[in-house]
Amino acid sequence: TDEPKGLLSLPESERDRLSEALQILLATGSINGVDSNRSALYHWCRQYFEWLKEIAALSGLDVALIHEERLIQAIPRTAALRLRLKQEETLVWLALWYAGDVRWRDEGQDQAFLSVAELNDLIRDQLLPDATGPIPKGRLRDILRMAARFNLIRFEPAEPFEESGIEVLPAIRRIIPFRDLAAWTETAATFHRESDGENPSEDDETSDTGEDEP
């Protein structure tokens, strides 16, 4: 009987596509078919999803195909592949999760939009009410770009920076998988305690993305 075809027997062009998909999943945690630069690859991955699952498994990843979001999401099998966030990054991502949850769950909106100014207000009011000032603009810009790279938000920079637009994407619910707002509040409370004088940790592991920040 003929042996089943494996990944090594694929044509070179298909192996190149598969390699590209795996590299993107390892670097950013997902492939977003809404992105015009990723649309063709997303459709290729849908067509050959079993190949993608096989090669991802060899790298320690499960993959999920979320049709309604046109997204292919990587799910690490081990802690070694999870993204480790520094404190300010964790803070911003928690605030983005909260903003999305309020708009989707409480307000019944289909999309979750806010400005950088509203994000800063949210961080101050909900996470660090006793903070002396907002996160520096340059640092916040970098954190938002990182979140966009992981397909957690769409980010539209503007001048002044506070008017920059943010759309929180549903993928953030899987990357920061709180069961409900009460679970979020419990985590957010750690920032209140740290602002009262406790020593913050260097890193807070909060998300199951493809790999450490590239």
Is 107 in the same domain as 196? Answer: yes
Comparing 196 with 186, the larger pLDDT belongs to: 186
Is 63 in the same domain as 109? Answer: no
Number of domains in the chain: 2
Is 154 in the same domain as 57? Answer: no
Which domain-ending residue is among 81, 108, 134? Answer: 81
Instruction: Grade residue 164 by pLDDT with cuts at 50, 70 and 90.
Output: very high
Residue 10 tokens read as 């694929």
Is 96 in the same domain as 197? Answer: yes
1 occurs within a structural domain: no
Is 146 in the same domain as 182? Answer: yes
Is 76 in the same domain as 91? Answer: no
Q: Is residue 41 within 8 Å of residue 3, measured between CB atoms? A: no
| pLDDT at 194 exceeding the cut of 70 | no
What pTM was estimated for this model as a whole?
0.74
Any idea what the CATH number is for the domain that residue 25 is in? 1.10.10
214 occurs within a structural domain: no
Which domain-ending residue is among 81, 100, 131? Answer: 81
194 occurs within a structural domain: yes
Which domain-ending residue is among 81, 97, 126? Answer: 81
Is 129 in the same domain as 184? Answer: yes
Is 113 in the same domain as 200? Answer: yes
| Domain interval for residue 52 | 7-81
pLDDT tens, position by position, 70-121: 999 998 887 777 778 888 888 899 899 989 988 998 888 889 999 999 999 9
Instruction: Grade residue 135 by pLDDT with cuts at 50, 70 and 90.
Output: confident
Residue 65: its pLDDT value, please?
A: 95
213 occurs within a structural domain: no
